[in-house]
Amino acid sequence: MKYMNYPNYLGMDISSTSIDICSKMFEKDEAKSFLLYNPKYFINNGYFTSDLVVCLDVLYHITNEDDFWKTLDDIFSCKASFIILYTRITKPEEFVHGIPTIQDRDILNCLSKYEDYKITEIIEQKYIKNCQEQVLLS
């Protein structure tokens, strides 16, 4: 965030610690706001809109299916011109099992639900060890 110069920015996170850190770090920056996110209680109804939504390193860490789909719905409910998802793109035979903080899914198939968007670009991860990739939708 230190290197981003957005005219207005709303950061949302499920971690109150992350929100506390960012709120303190950017307390003098009136262009940035932070909000604790909980998919069970967040209802957008068109209130939050954006030119760009960035979901950074989140989706494959959501292990609850209902929370996963609600989070995707919330991302797309912002009616952004562009959405960037930085996440794992894996085939079912590559899914990681047995790690409690990772839930692999066929993300490209999941995204097909959002017909108003199309994948513009998939940027492969330079460091294969981390296995995350960026998906740009518009």
Q: Examine the domain organization and report whether 128 and 69 are in the same domain.
A: yes
Q: Examine the domain organization and report whether 73 and 130 are in the same domain.
A: yes
Could you give the number of structural domains in the chain? 2
Q: Examine the domain organization and report whether 33 and 67 are in the same domain.
A: no
Q: What is the CATH number of the domain that holds 84?
A: 3.40.50.150
Three-state DSSP class for residue 60: helix
Containing structural domain, residue 14 = 1-37
Q: Examine the domain organization and report whether 103 and 55 are in the same domain.
A: yes
pLDDT, tens only, 101-124: 999 999 999 999 999 999 999 988
Q: In whole angstroms, what separates CA 4 from the centre of its chain?
A: 17
| pLDDT recorded at residue 104 | 94
Is 10 within 8 Å of 34 (Cβ atoms)?
Answer: yes
Q: Would you place residue 134 in the very low, low, confident or very high pLDDT band (cuts 50, 70, 90)?
A: low
Q: Examine the domain organization and report whether 24 and 51 are in the same domain.
A: no
Q: Examine the domain organization and report whether 76 and 129 are in the same domain.
A: yes
Is 1 within 8 Å of 11 (Cβ atoms)?
Answer: yes
Q: Examine the domain organization and report whether 77 and 16 are in the same domain.
A: no
Q: Examine the domain organization and report whether 19 and 55 are in the same domain.
A: no
Is 53 within 8 Å of 78 (Cβ atoms)?
Answer: yes
pLDDT, tens only, 57-101: 899 999 999 999 999 999 999 999 999 999 989 889 989 899 999
Q: Examine the domain organization and report whether 46 and 1 are in the same domain.
A: no
pLDDT, tens only, 13-61: 999 999 999 999 999 999 999 999 999 999 999 899 999 999 998 999 9
pTM: 0.87
